[in-house]
Structure 1
Amino acid sequence: MRNTLKTTVLLAGLGGLMVLIGSFFGTTGAVIGLVVGLAFVGGSYWFSDTIAIRAARAREVTEAEMPEYFAIVRDLAARADMPMPRLYVSPEAQPNAFATGRNPEHAAVAVTEGILQVLTWDELRGVLAHEISHVGNRDILISSVAAAVAMGITFSARMVMWGAMLGGGGGGDRDRDGGIFGLLAMALLAPLAAAVLQMALSRSREFEADRSGAALLGDGEGLARALQKIDAYAHQVPMQIDQAHAQAYIINPLSGRRVQFASLFRTHPPTEERVARLRAGAWR
């Protein structure tokens, strides 16, 4: 219920932002903004999982190709009393994984080539239990929509930037310099708002997915070891993924990048704290 409410607010906010931006260019602009907003809102809900999968360049795999992968996820889905999700593999060398979709009936789990090479099957089972828990906890809709909304905000900011550069900002009595300054400020601040939004959505969800994932297996050690390995590799092996989708992964795939105000943009709890909670038995 809480995630559904958050999703509604996010989508309504995105639609409102599009209309607001369009209104800077007069009534016609507001109407165009409404149309674009409705398209973005619908796409964010219905196609957020497809967008996430494409962003990861992942391909769907069959049971004949990866029987162990399917066996683990099928067992976890049965334990969690949920449908079997679609399974994907991304070609990324960095070990990582994520889940996406609008509900358990339309869920997908993706792992990278790197995680298949680095983790043991016991450790990978812990990671997949974490991702299945995201599905069971209904986190994947809010996560997927948040990523799509963040992309929409960034797209809107770029539209505003171009509009300001081209001298947009209708209204005969409006101060042109002030109008352009406002547009530029929105264009610069919107990506920051998107990043703060992602940060607010992610941290508590990761702790809960760790807890429920370990409880699903009756053991938190495999996931704890996996988190340590993934975190270490994330600081060494780069991944080409946009900031909007980075929050969906079990460990932030952009951890190794030097980003100004890095603590502000952190979308996951500290790995050390997650591992400590798992090993202290917080999942029991």
Structure 2
Amino acid sequence: MPRTRSLSRYAPDRGLATRMATTMFLIGLLYVVFVGVLLVLLRGSWPVVLLVAGALFVGQFWFSDKIAALGMGAREVTREQAPELHGTVDRICALADMPKPKVAVADSDVPNAFATGRGEKTALVCVTTGLLRRLEPEELEGVLAHEMSHVAHRDVAVMTIASFLGVLAGMMTRVALYSGLGRSRDANAAAAMILVPVVSGAVYVLSFLLTRVLSRYRELAADRAAALLTGRPSALASALTKVSGEMARIPTRDLRKAEPYNAFWFAPAFSSKESLGRLLSTHPTLEQRLDQLARISERLGQV
């Protein structure tokens, strides 16, 4: 009789679970209101609204992680091709009691890592060649433990669903503009032409800000879970400091290529210390992350 696998040993994070649930509730409520408004404004086009909304949701949920991995140049590697990388992932899987994800490498000098996949069965963990060249083994272990925390907590699936409403809002604006309403002289159609883009824009902004708040917290939660799992928060702090410092030496054109996938990366390709930049950022500041790891080190009795 097959053994039922237990939950992973990553430290549970009630704060993360609460924020995920709250964000998903608010985004779900926003989604229901948004579609309801569209059905009222685009009465003659409601089949198109429902069809586009459903198709977008299915497409983004099932394929967005694969598209992101492809866009970031992830290439799956065997144990023979990357024995040390596989060995590190094996150790983390043993510590966390979770199945091994696919292991990949991206040929990029930008020192970073990311995880994709809707769950443990479809997960892929990828590091760049730039990261492998720069980190010590214990630092790499901390980074990979951080990324696998995202897998254990299903962060990728949650963020994919959470970001869906922004995509839908943009698509609905296009549907309104090209559905023929602009060619109609009907007063209701003219009003819809004005209201749909306004409503879509408002929904996009709200969903964008909600997902950014959740994204920043999930990064802190992944840092915490990785530090507690490995018992070496100082190694993760060292990796963060090293990666952030090395970013300044990477050519701007390479960072620009990586920037669209900031939400997936271990550390953002670009970050800002401006207040507005922090509000819109996918990651907390380096200072916030290091401060949290320092507190964990003190709790664990480390220097």
TM-score by length of 2: 0.77
- Structure 1 residues 4-13 or 218-227, which shifts more? 4-13
Alpha-carbon contact 2:150-2:222 (below 8 Å) kept: yes
Which has more radius of gyration? 2
Q: What's 1:84 paired with? A: 100
Q: Within 5 A, what are the aligned runs for 1:138-217?
A: 138-160=154-176, 162-163=177-178, 168=182, 172-174=186-188, 176=190, 178-186=191-199, 188-217=201-230
Q: Within 5 A, what are the aligned runs for 1:79-118?
A: 79-118=95-134
- Count of paired positions: 278
CA deviation profile, 1:33-81 (whole Å, cap 9, x unmatched):
2111111222233333213212323222222211111110111011101
User: Is 1:274 the counterpart of 2:289 in the alignment?
Assistant: yes
- Among candidates 230, 235, 257, match of residue 240 of structure 1: 257
Alpha-carbon shift at residue 227 of structure 1 (Å): 1.0
User: Is 1:62 the counterpart of 2:78 in the alignment?
Assistant: yes
Mapped to 2, the partners of 1:239 and 1:163 lie a distance apart of 32
Q: Report SS of the residue matched to 2:186.
A: coil
Alpha-carbon contact 1:122-1:222 (below 8 Å) kept: yes
- Structure 1 residues 118-127 or 145-154, which shifts more? 145-154
Mapped to 2, the partners of 1:145 and 1:96 lie a distance apart of 24
Alpha-carbon shift at residue 268 of structure 1 (Å): 1.6
The 3 A distance-change label for structure 1 pair 261 and 207 is: closer
Mapped to 2, the partners of 1:13 and 1:242 lie a distance apart of 28
Alpha-carbon contact 1:49-1:108 (below 8 Å) kept: no
CA deviation profile, 1:124-181 (whole Å, cap 9, x unmatched):
1110011112222232321233345544444444555x439x76386823272x5433
The 3 A distance-change label for structure 1 pair 82 and 169 is: farther
Q: Which amino acid aligns with 1:112?
A: T
Mapped to 2, the partners of 1:64 and 1:157 lie a distance apart of 50
- Among candidates 235, 238, 241, match of residue 225 of structure 1: 238
The 3 A distance-change label for structure 1 pair 226 and 170 is: farther
Q: Which amino acid aligns with 1:110?
A: C
Mapped to 2, the partners of 1:10 and 1:242 lie a distance apart of 25
TM-score by length of 1: 0.81
Q: Which amino acid aligns with 2:182?
A: G
The 3 A distance-change label for structure 1 pair 108 and 19 is: farther
Mapped to 2, the partners of 1:207 and 1:68 lie a distance apart of 27
Alpha-carbon shift at residue 195 of structure 1 (Å): 2.6
Mapped to 2, the partners of 1:22 and 1:103 lie a distance apart of 33
Mapped to 1, the partners of 2:204 and 2:188 lie a distance apart of 26
Alpha-carbon shift at residue 212 of structure 1 (Å): 1.2
Give identity over the alignment, percent.
Answer: 29
The 3 A distance-change label for structure 1 pair 143 and 179 is: closer
Q: What's 1:39 paired with? A: 55
Alpha-carbon contact 2:111-2:130 (below 8 Å) kept: yes
CA RMSD of aligned residues (A): 3.3
